[in-house]
Structure formats: C-alpha cells, structure tokens
Chain A
C-alpha cells in the first residue's frame, strides 16, 4: 500500500534519513522501532508531507506522492497522529474532531456524523467531554482524541508517532487494544514506537531504524526473538 524508496531527508545540512526503503502492506500493522534520533519521526513527517524529501520516492497506492503538500496527502487517505498528540488545546473536543473531518465534502455530512458516532463509541470518554476544551484532558484522553481526530478523515492508512509517549502502562494497553481492533476492521497502520516490546507484539512486520537508516527488518515475531533486538531494544 505504501512504498518508501531510498528516501533521504535533511534538516539544513544534517541528514536525518539515509536511503530509507520500506513498505507497509495493506491490512497490516507495520512498526518502526529504534532509539531517539534514529529518524523515525522524520520518516513519518516526510511521508505526510510536513518535511520535504531531497532524494527518493514515496509511493502510495501506486501513485507518487513524494512532493505533494500535506493537505493533498490527507485527501488521498493517509492520516497521521503526530508525536506528543498535538490536539488543538484551546478548542473543544467536538471542534477537534470536526477539524479532523476538514477534508470531507459537504455532501458527506451523514457519513461524517456516523464516523463521529463511531469515534465516540471507540472512545466513550470523549463523548462525556465533548464540550470541554482539549487542553483540559489528561494525556491518555488527549491521545485518544488525537487518534479519533485522525480517524475523522476516514483514512485508509493511519500513521502513529509514539502513541505510548508519556502515558501510564494501563492507558498504553487500552490505546493498543484500540489499534488492534481498528486493524481487525481492515485499517492499515504504520506505527512508530520507542516501546519496542508492545510495538512488536502488536505488529505484523517490523523495521529497526538506527542513525537514519533501516538496520534490520522482518516479521514482528521474528524480530521479537532476534538476539540484537532483544539486547538493545527489549533490555
């Protein structure tokens, strides 16, 4: 579904991605693990159009989207939950979700309403706090809002950047349970995670990134057993 070919991205003169090649298969959960600064976030930001690639290609559903602006990419069906959640703190929960559906056409009102019901069913706590401003939510609730907001554009590929960051283990479990059920409903997921254990346990296929490069890849259960992965990332 998504192919990344020899992608290189720079911040000024600093190279953050070096010829990264990977793919996310339709219906799979693909995860990218690795230490801080390995280039995981840069990779997602380049795919979603927030950062420009200097070399290489991003192919989505057989279309080259490498130099498309972010709004075109969202319209194309890729939605991203950014690192640190980044909800619109001064707006209400309802407004955040409404903005998630920003790209939907006027004729889709009914579908948007039913998607909203679906999101509120997925995260009942958001339904209780609809009129509350997003900044007043707890970290876990904000993460749920960020995921819900991303789902409102009805993506075919959902990318998540460190959804576990700064959350209590219980909350992390519940977020990953939700991802699992979204996956079972057929959503393709590309998951960037520092918590290698939970990421590999959830995913079908995994990539290990180190200093801007893909160092290792394989089926998630094999990576879980891999000597090097165990030593460095699973501790």
Chain B
C-alpha cells in the first residue's frame, strides 16, 4: 500500500509547533496552575522516557517488544522499599544495590527464558515476555503483598516555589537521572565497539553476524541495560507514586506508548515521546475529569500506529531485497 511520505523535517516542525501551542495555551489560560501541570508532566514524562528507552534498547537489538519492561520498574521500587526503608541502607548504596539486583534478574531471565528461544520467531518471544510479566508480578505479590508502600523522597519533600508553581525536589532527581541515563545510553551506542556492533546488528543482522557480532551477546546486553533503565525509573519515581506489585503494568504500557510515539529503537525518540506523553496526559487530566488521563496514552498509541507507525523520530524501514 502506498502511503504519502511526510518528511521528517515537516513532522518535527509540526510537533514542535504543537507542543509550543499546547504549552503556551496552557500557560496563558491557567497561569501558574498550567506551569504546575507542565512540570508534573515533565516529571512523569521523564519516567516514561526511561521505560521507553528500555523498550527501544531491546527492540533495536532483537526486534522483541518486552512486555515485562514495566515490571523491572516495579521491582526497582519494591526493592528500594525493602533495602532503603526497611533495611535502612544509605540512599546511594540502596539505589545501587536495587538497580544491581534488578539488572541481574533481567540478565538471568534473558538467559533462562529468551536465549533458549533464539531460533524461534520474534512473536513467540514476545508472548514469553507477557508470561514473564505475569510471573514477576505474582512473585512480587507473594513477597511484598498487595498493599502500596511509600518510599521516602531522596532529599525531603519541601517544594520549591517557581513562578507560583511548586516543584517537589524529587522531580529534580527524576530529571537528572533521565538526563544521565540518556547520555550513558548514547555514549554506549556511539562510542563503544560493543554498542556499535549492536547498532550494526539492528541495521543489518546478517551482515553483523558475518562480522562476528553475536546476536546472543547483543540480546543479553540489551536485556541487562533495559532492566537497569527500568529499575532506575521505578526507584526514582517511587517517592512520588506509591510502589506496589501492580505498578509496572500501567507504567509499561505508558513507556511502550512513549517509545512508539517517539519511534521505537531511537533513544532520543524515547525521550521526546516520553516527555510529550507525560505533559499531554497531565494537561488532559487537569482540564477533563481525571478518568480520561489514561485514555490519552492509548488514543495516542492507536493514532501513531495508524498514521505513522515509525514514530516521530523513527525512520521507516528500508525495503529489503
């Protein structure tokens, strides 16, 4: 089916104008309340961005959509609760230990359940990830029960006032961490031989295999990175949202939407998609009854898949000969 090609540049311009218009209109009509929405939207959007980066890393290396991606975040939050709140380890150590445990779980699950399917179709692997999500959720419920738990903010709860909007300090941790993760992911794929090899494998799996780039190693590294990204997101958002065994499901779906919106497989796309989704969601929740909030993500998901499946920053896949 022939589809009219919208040039990337036009699309990005339209998107930028749209964002500016929405932000401007919100600020003009609602003033400091509008600013408040935008800041909250950027905070939750950063979390979506981190989760979306996890989706993208696995997708671009293996073409698999990991529906257990949100569960890594849930595990991060729950472990942080146990290690930081209950066991009382100092914050930086608790953060690192929680991320490390989830990362090992991610790597272990890849070896135990994904690696054995390396010669199977992508769709069967995707179905296995749905199974993994259910398994992780159920295990978390057994360990931590079903009551939401609270993780203390990293640096207190005293909000900062800025032009009439109040910003909780945890937001800055969220922004900082997202920026750091983005830079690290970028450097990995742009500067290291392993990262370049994984990019090559994403672009042309056969040619990459002929260079000796092992698809099995790519898959393991991708899952490890995705688990670390997911865990970091879950930990840093835990003080703002509650942590509980079911928190990963919705977060996973939102992260997936953000990844699709920005363009699956692109780290910058993940950030753009995440922030955009977060802000739109918060504004809609402010203007309309809050029940519509979650609908935003799914309306966007459906629209993007219908109109531009490669997302805002994605490139349409070349024709294979």
Contacts and interface: CB of A to CB of B under 8 A. Distances in A.
Q: Which of A49, A71, A79, A100 is most buried by chain B, counting CB atoms within 10 A of its CB? A: A71
A139 interface: no
Contacts of B209: 48-50, 69-71
B113 interface: no
A149 B213 CA distance: 13
Contacts of B207: 82, 86-88
Contact of A88 (B193, B203, B214, B321): B203
Contacts of A71: 209, 212-214
A69 B216 CA distance: 10
B211 to A, nearest CB: 5
Contact of B203 (A74, A75, A82, A89): A89
A192 B110 CA distance: 38
Contact of A48 (B193, B203, B210): B210
Interface stretch (B17-25, B93-101, B171-179, B194-202): B194-202
Contacts of B216: 69
A70 B54 CA distance: 27
Chain B interface, >50% SS class: helix
Given A48-B210, A71-B212, A153-B212, A86 B193 contact: no
- The majority secondary structure among interface residues of chain A is loop
A48 B214 CA distance: 13
B234 to A, nearest CB: 33
Contacts, number: 64
Interface in B180-212: 193, 196-197, 199-200, 203-204, 206-212
Contacts of B211: 74, 99-100, 102-103, 149, 153
Contact of A80 (B210, B214, B321): B210
- Which bracket fits the contact residues of B? 10 to 19
Interface in A19-46: none
Interface string B235-264: 000000000000000000000000000000
Interface stretch (A1-9, A90-98, A212-220, A223-231): A90-98
Contact of A102 (B204, B206, B213): B213
Interface string B43-70: 0000000000000000000000000000
Contacts of B321: 84
Given A86-B207, A99-B193, A100-B211, 10 more contacts: A70-B209, A71-B209, A71-B214, A75-B212, A86-B206, A88-B208, A91-B200, A99-B211, A102-B213, A150-B210
Interface of B: 193, 196-197, 199-200, 203-204, 206-214, 216, 321
Interface of A: 48-50, 69-71, 74-75, 79-80, 82, 84, 86-91, 95, 98-100, 102-103, 149-150, 153
